């Protein structure tokens, strides 16, 4: 792994985006003071996770953002990216290149990315942990870092050694294990306290549970006896219920028959309505279609008119073009006559000129021949002897040259064959690379399409997930609100139930009687309860019945007068106050008088209070006694009206609680008083219903929240999967682009080689052809020389005679040529004038011909347009005829639909009248049936109340209990009830929940014991893990210390050219807690601590220590920021030599002003500030510079 590059934008003085391309070896960064060199180190330190603004040479974190200059505005974001080469898989990511990015905005928001994927700072720190490139390792070594190592305490200096040993990960895990161990210890302490408290509670809870179980058995037997007695009362009610149901069923059958007939008529009515609706829709569609057809007809007729106008215009244009065509023909005829006259004149001049030129050509030819002949004869006289002398010599040279050319041609043919083979191989390689390139481009398209799909999916998920998170938060908030409502409602019900159990609002005497009964005291054993708890009242009548009862609601119910006497004696003896006792056997029910029966059918009359209240049959005399002559009315106005009309007057009560007494007093208004027993019972019933609904809503909300959380988690997993796939695809795209670039580079190099080889092949072919030509020329030359040798001798004889005759003929020919040339000049001038006139006529003729061609083209286009318009007109005429027919058919269809709609409307009216009569009959039967239903409901409510009471007291299986043969219990039921009540009284008060409490305590004790055991096992496991990690860390740190000490001693001797140095552990025998001391002895000095060395010696010792650490564990890259400042020139040379030695294993980026250090760099980056406050980079690769 090494650092491939650094990209900076907006960070301190690097406002524009710059990139440092880095490679293995040593990279130097130079520049004047204040140019921004150290800002590059700050950028690397920042992107690795530095959180201290002071360490970045600032006061606040936003100081790293470019703050502006005289010519530049401030920017809003700083961004730095490190590009790491991961081809050796040093990092646990499946990518060849890893990019780590950090951004910071002026708003204070920060972002981290790995390969453009958002991440946490912790992810980056864990990624670089134990690689030596983390923020705490040797990735960045500045002059301040050297001084920090030298001045640090021995314990702090040990941390540098730990980073080299690679135990930082183990130390982090050990810290986490320690934290978990402390948490386990705290949990164990709390468990021990809880277990001790439970042990103290278990003993008393066991005793209470035994008494409660005894009480439960006695109560079960007592309930069974009371169940037998209660079942007798329900038999009579069942018989009455059966008779009412039979009457109700007969009425129900009649009503069902009428409903069937009504359904039939309603079905026919629906069919007619649907038919009417369809008819209306059809008529509407027909009207729309008819309107559309009429509009189309208007459009077609308009288009026909437009076509006729265009046809007329084309006819007028055709006449004009014919007139223009005649004019052009006449003008052309005139031009043709003028051209013929000029042609005749030109032809005459040409004939004369031709004759003269022929004469001149003949004269010149004759003159040239004579001159050539003269010169040739003179030359031949001089050459013949020389030629004869050289023929033999030239013939021998030609023969030798022919032999050499044959040998050269054979070698050239071999070279040509070799180059052609090379060219074929290059073409084959080119075809292979082109095939790979095409396949790669196809794959590139697939990857880009996949990337686009993945990016779209990722964008969709990133949009949906925040919405789902907001929805989940709203659901959780709603769930919390429901839980709070449930808690408040449960608390309210608990208060109400407790008030009912304590008989809150009852008199002292009544409460004393009821509490004595619950304790089983004999004096109150015959108490059945108070009036208000033995009746059931509909919710809307609660207020009215409470007011109607008044103080009688607290009257105590007993069966006989002796029981009433015992209760009164109990109150006297115990001095518990007073109470009213109602012996049921003595009560005479008060019935609503027959003379006042008419009032029950009056508007606003709810009914007689006794009839509106449900109770057990045994209690019914008391209900009739107290409420039998009280009338419940809807409101005060109707009550006052009835009070005036009723004679003798009766007691009236309204639903709001107003009371009209028989003798005239009216009581009403509103008072702030505590709720009565009935009101509390109603509130409890309503609260329990509301609680059940609330629990259902709560369960539904929980289920929805869980479902939404599951959906959100699925979406997050899908986002992570898509992000990973996107990163993988981008990596594939990057690798593919690199391969395609390599293919293209190879093809370019191949094309260059092919071009060079082609040029060489062409040159070789040309050379071969030239050799063939040269050989043929030599053969021809040899033949000519042999022939000429025989000719030369004969030519010498007549050469002189021919020369004299030739000179005389030449003088005569030259005189005749002078006369003819003068005549030729005159004819040439006349010919030029005629040529100008011919050219002018040709231009005029060409102009007229062009106009004729344009006219013909226009006429042809007009004829084509006229034909198209005529065809279009015929088509439109046919369309007009069809539309007229379609309109007629549409009008006829619309008329038919109107007739059908009228018939349907008439049928609908007849069915409506029949339905109205049927529903009137059904209403009468329904009213009668509802009355029977009311009677049935009242009786069923009474029975259901009895059953509910039995189920509440004896459970749902009370009927099965009665079916078992218990005749002895039926006979002895009254006596057994008294005996059991006495035993329960003797047992005293018990806690019914004691067995459940005891069982809960026992299970809780066992669970806590199991948790304690689990925690102890977990503590032992954590202690073992910590011990093993400490052993591993100590072993690894000791081995690292030994290796570093050996290398430190050797490097110290190399840098100081002698001396000794060592590392010693101080302060503790435990290597993980001991300090690290550096002992150095430069040449010629005694061993001493670092503090006693000079500044240069300290710096050189620190350099030796740093390089020793790098030798034991090479860092992927190391940045030295002016660490050579305190070194002299000789030591700078040694430092540079170490850089070159270690550069094969570690990549170095060095910021320095020293020439010796810069000379060791492979690449130099210069940091300049050409613009005030803005840094720029300039790079030079040193091996490319001239020596």
Q: Which run of H or E residues covers position 344?
A: helix 168-501
Residue 108 φ/ψ region, left for φ over 0, alpha for ψ in the -120 to 50 degree band, beta for the rest: left
Place of tokens 């001045």: 151
**Burial bucket for residue 958 (CB in 10 Å: 0-12, 13-18, 19+):** middle
**Cβ 544 vs Cβ 611: under 8 Å:** no
Residue 366, token pair as written in the block: 């004759």
Q: Other CB atoms closer than 10 Å to residue 321's CB: what's the count?
A: 14
Alpha carbon distance 845, 328 (integer Å):
10
DSSP state at residue 167: -
Q: What DSSP string runs through 795-830?
A: HHHHHHHHHHHHHHHHHHHHHHHHHHHHHHHHHHHH
The binding site comprises 32-39
Q: How many helices (H) and strands (E) in the chain? A: 17, 25
The binding site for ATP comprises 32-39
Residue 865, token pair as written in the block: 């347009």
Please tell me whether residue 1013 adopts helix, strand or coil conformation: helix
Please tell me whether residue 61 adopts helix, strand or coil conformation: helix
Please tell me whether residue 110 adopts helix, strand or coil conformation: strand
Q: What DSSP string runs through 533-550?
A: GSEE--GGGHHHHHHHHG
Name the phi and psi angles at 1175, rounded to 5. Answer: -90, 145
**Cβ 1136 vs Cβ 1159: under 8 Å:** yes
Strands 117-119 vs 140-142: parallel, antiparallel or unpaired: unpaired
Q: Whose CA is closest to 469, among 712, 657, 642?
A: 712
Q: Which residues make Cβ contacts (< 8 Å) with residue 413, sequence separation at least 6?
A: 768
Please tell me whether residue 602 adopts helix, strand or coil conformation: coil
Alpha carbon distance 166, 1113 (integer Å):
9
**Cβ 192 vs Cβ 1013: under 8 Å:** no
Q: Whose CA is closest to 47, among 131, 119, 149?
A: 119
Alpha carbon distance 112, 373 (integer Å):
102
| Radius of gyration from C-alpha coordinates of the chain | 62
Please tell me whether residue 231 adopts helix, strand or coil conformation: helix
**Cβ 973 vs Cβ 508: under 8 Å:** no
Please tell me whether residue 7 adopts helix, strand or coil conformation: strand
Residue 984, token pair as written in the block: 């329960």
Report the sign of the C-alpha dihedral through residues 399, 403, 408, 410, in that order. Answer: positive
Residue 873 φ/ψ region, left for φ over 0, alpha for ψ in the -120 to 50 degree band, beta for the rest: alpha
Length of the chain, please? 1187
DSSP state at residue 634: S
Alpha carbon distance 494, 576 (integer Å):
28
Residue 97, token pair as written in the block: 């290149």
Please tell me whether residue 382 adopts helix, strand or coil conformation: helix
DSSP state at residue 630: E
Residue 1167, token pair as written in the block: 């940091």
Q: Which run of H or E residues covers position 1176?
A: strand 1174-1181
């Amino acid at each position: 792994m090494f650092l491939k590059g650094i990209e900076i934008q907006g960070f301190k003085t690097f406002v524009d985006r710059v990139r440092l391309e880095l490679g293995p070896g040593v990279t130097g960064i130079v520049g004047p003071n204040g140019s921004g060199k150290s800002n590059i180190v700050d950028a690397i330190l920042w992107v690795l996770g530095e959180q201290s603004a002071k360490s970045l040479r600032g006061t606040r974190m936003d100081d790293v953002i470019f703050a502006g200059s005289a010519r530049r505005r401030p920017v809003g974001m700083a961004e730095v990216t490190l590009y790491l080469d991961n081809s050796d898989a040093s990092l646990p990511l499946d990518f060849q290149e890893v990019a780590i990015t950090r951004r910071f905005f002026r708003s204070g928001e920060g972002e981290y990315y790995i390969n453009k994927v958002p991440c946490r700072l912790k992810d980056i720190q864990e990624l670089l942990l134990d690689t030596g490139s983390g923020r705490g390792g040797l990735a960045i070594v500045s002059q301040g870092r050297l001084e920090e190592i030298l001045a640090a305490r021995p314990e702090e200096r040990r941390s540098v050694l730990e980073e080299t040993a690679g135990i930082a990960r183990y130390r982090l895990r050990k810290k986490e294990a320690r934290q978990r161990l402390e948490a386990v210890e705290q949990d164990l302490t709390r468990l021990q306290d809880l277990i001790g408290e439970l042990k103290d509670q278990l003993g008393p809870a066991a005793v209470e549970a035994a008494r409660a179980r005894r009480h439960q058995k006695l109560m079960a037997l007592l309930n069974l006896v009371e169940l037998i007695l209660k079942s007798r009362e329900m038999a009579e009610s069942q018989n009455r219920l059966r008779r009412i149901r039979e009457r109700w069923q007969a009425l129900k059958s009649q009503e069902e028959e009428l409903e069937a007939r009504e359904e039939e008529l309603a079905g026919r009515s629906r069919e007619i309505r649907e038919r009417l609706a369809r008819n209306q829709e059809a008529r509407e569609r027909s009207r729309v279609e008819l309107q559309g057809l009429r509009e189309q007809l208007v459009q077609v007729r308009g288009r026909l008119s437009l076509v006729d106008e265009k046809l007329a215009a084309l006819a007028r244009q055709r006449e004009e073009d014919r007139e223009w065509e005649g004019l052009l023909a006449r003008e052309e005829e005139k031009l043709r006559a003028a051209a013929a006259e000029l042609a005749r004149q030109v032809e005459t001049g040409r004939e004369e000129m031709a004759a003269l030129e022929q004469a001149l050509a003949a004269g010149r030819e004759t003159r040239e021949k004579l001159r050539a002949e003269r010169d040739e004869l003179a030359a031949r006289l001089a050459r013949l002897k020389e030629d004869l002398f050289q023929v033999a010599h030239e013939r021998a040279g030609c023969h030798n040259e022919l032999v050499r050319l044959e040998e050269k041609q054979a070698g050239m043919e071999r070279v040509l064959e070799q180059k052609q083979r090379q060219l074929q191989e290059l073409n084959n390689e080119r075809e292979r690379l082109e095939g790979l390139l095409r396949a790669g481009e196809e794959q590139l398209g697939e990857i880009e399409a996949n990337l686009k799909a993945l990016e779209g999916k990722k964008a969709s998920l990133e949009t949906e997930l925040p919405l789902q998170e907001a929805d989940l938060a709203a659901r959780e908030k709603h769930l919390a609100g429901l839980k709070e409502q449930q808690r408040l409602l449960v608390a309210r019900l608990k208060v109400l139930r407790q008030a009912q159990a304590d008989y809150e609002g009852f008199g002292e005497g009544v409460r004393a009687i009821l509490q004595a009964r619950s304790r089983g005291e004999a004096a109150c054993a015959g108490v059945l309860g108070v009036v208000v708890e033995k009746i059931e009242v509909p919710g809307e009548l609660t207020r009215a019945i409470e007011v109607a009862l008044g103080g009688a609601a607290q009257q105590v119910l007993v069966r006989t007068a002796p029981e009433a006497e015992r209760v009164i004696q109990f109150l006297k003896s115990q001095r518990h106050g007073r109470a009213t006792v109602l012996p049921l056997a003595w009560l005479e029910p008060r019935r609503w008088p027959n003379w006042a029966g008419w009032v029950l059918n009056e508007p606003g009359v709810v009914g007689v209070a006794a009839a509106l209240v449900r109770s057990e049959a045994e209690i019914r005399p008391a209900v009739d006694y107290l409420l039998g002559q009280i009338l419940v009315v809807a409101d005060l106005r109707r009550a006052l009206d009835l009070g005036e009309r009723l004679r003798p007057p009766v007691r009236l009560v309204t639903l709001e609680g107003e009371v009209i007494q028989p003798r005239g007093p009216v009581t009403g208004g509103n008072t702030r008083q505590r709720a009565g027993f009935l009101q509390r019972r109603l509130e409890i019933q309503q609260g329990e219903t509301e609680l059940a609904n609330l629990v259902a809503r709560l369960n539904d909300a929980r289920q929805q929240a869980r479902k939404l959380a599951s959906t959100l988690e699925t979406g997050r997993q899908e986002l992570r999967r898509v992000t990973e796939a996107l990163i993988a695809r981008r990596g594939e795209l990057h690798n593919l682009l690199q391969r395609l670039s390599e293919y293209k580079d190879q093809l370019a190099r191949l094309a260059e080689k092919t071009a060079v080889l082609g040029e060489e092949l062409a040159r070789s072919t040309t050379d071969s052809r030239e050799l063939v030509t040269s050989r043929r020329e030599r053969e021809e030359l040899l033949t000519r020389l042999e022939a000429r040798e025989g000719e030369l001798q004969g030519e010498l004889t007549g050469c002189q005679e021919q020369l004299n005759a030739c000179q005389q003929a030449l003088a005569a020919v030259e005189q005749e040529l002078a006369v003819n040339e003068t005549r030729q000049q005159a004819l040439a001038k006349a010919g030029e004038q005629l040529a100008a006139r011919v050219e002018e006529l040709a231009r005029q003729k060409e102009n007229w011909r062009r106009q004729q061609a344009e006219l013909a083209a226009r006429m042809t286009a007009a004829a084509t347009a006229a034909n198209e318009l005529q065809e279009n007109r015929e088509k439109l005429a046919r369309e007009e005829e069809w539309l007229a027919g379609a309109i007629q058919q549409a009008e006829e269809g619309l008329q038919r639909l109107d007739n059908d709609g009228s018939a349907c409307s008439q049928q609908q009216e007849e069915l409506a009248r029949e339905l109205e009569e049927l529903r009137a009959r059904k209403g009468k039967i329904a009213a009668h049936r509802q009355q029977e239903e009311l009677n049935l409901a009242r009786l069923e409510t009474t029975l259901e109340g009895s059953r509910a009471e039995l189920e509440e007291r004896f459970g749902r299986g009370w009927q099965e209990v009665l079916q078992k043969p218990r005749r002895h219990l039926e006979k002895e039921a009254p006596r057994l009830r008294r005996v059991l009540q006495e035993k329960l009284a003797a047992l005293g008060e018990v806690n019914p929940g004691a067995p459940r409490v005891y069982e809960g305590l026992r299970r809780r004790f066992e669970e806590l014991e199991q948790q304690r055991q689990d925690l102890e096992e977990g503590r032992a496991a954590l202690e073992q893990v910590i011990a093993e990690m400490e052993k591993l860390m100590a072993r690894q740190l000791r081995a690292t210390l030994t290796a570093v000490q050996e290398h430190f001693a050797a490097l110290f001797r190399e840098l100081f050219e002698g001396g000794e140095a060592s590392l010693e552990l101080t302060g503790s025998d435990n290597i993980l807690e001991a300090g690290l001391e550096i002992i150095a002895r430069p040449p010629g000095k005694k061993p001493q601590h670092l503090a006693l060395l000079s500044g240069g010696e300290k710096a050189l010792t620190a350099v030796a220590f740093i390089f020793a650490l790098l030798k034991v564990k090479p860092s992927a890259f190391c940045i030295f920021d002016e660490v050579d400042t305190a070194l002299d020139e000789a030591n700078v040379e040694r430092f540079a030599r170490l850089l070159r030695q270690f550069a094969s294993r570690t990549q170095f980026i060095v910021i320095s002003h020293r020439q010796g250090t810069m000379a060791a760099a492979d690449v130099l980056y210069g940091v300049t500030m050409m613009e005030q406050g803005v840094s720029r980079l300039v790079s030079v690769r040193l091996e490319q510079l001239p020596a």
